[in-house]
Amino acid sequence: MPQPTTVKDCMRRQPLTIRPDASLAEAVKLITEHGLTGLTVTDEAGTVKGVLSELDCLRGILGSIYNDGDPEHTRVSEVMTSVVNACSIDDNIVEVAQSMLETRQRRRPVVQDGVLVGQVSSRNILWALMEHSRGRVNSQRHSS
């Protein structure tokens, strides 16, 4: 029986990213315009510095409003999640999926040699697992 797919087979290459010093308003605009659930935060060299989810943005905007602030003056680095659970292109998607469930994080930066090369989301993994399952079912039907 073939093994489930690796991350490189279902990741999104060249995902949209944002810098830590960008404004929260800029991040929200990117997320909403592109229908994303979050962004990977990188420096100029492509090194992952954090992740920014919709909930991080919501928390930041509410905090800004509550404190009479302005999302234009709130920086991504102030509201992003700095503890990043990254994965590599060769990681097994079943293991990545289990880790996502444990940490309740829906996306993972994919890093190679310390630099962001892609992103994998729970949606990417769902698709890959279903494709794997369909392939297994079809091969069992043909061998019977």
- Domains of the chain by range and CATH? 7-143 (3.10.580.10)
pLDDT digits (tens, 9 = 90+) for 89-115: 999 999 999 999 999 888 999 999 989
Provide the mean pLDDT of the chain. 89
**Residue type for position 128:** A
User: How far from 81 is each of 2, 77, 84, 111, 136, CA to CA, in Å?
Assistant: 36, 8, 7, 17, 38
What is the rounded radius of gyration, in angstroms, for the C-alpha atoms of the chain?
18
Angle of helix 93-103 versus helix 122-143 axis, rounded to 10: 140
Other C-beta atoms closer than 10 Å to the C-beta of 114 total: 10
pLDDT the model gives residue 37:
86
Length of the chain measured in residues: 144
Give pLDDT, residue 140. 44
Give residue 3's pLDDT: 63
Say whether pLDDT at 19 is over 70. yes
* CA distances to 38, 80, 105, 125 from 48, in Å: 14, 12, 16, 21
- What local confidence, expressed as pLDDT, does residue 66 receive? 83
pLDDT digits (tens, 9 = 90+) for 25-51: 999 999 999 998 899 999 999 999 999
Strand partners, 120: 108
The amino acid that residue 44 corresponds to is: E
The strands making up 17-18's β-sheet, listed across from edge to edge, are 17-18, 38-42, 48-53
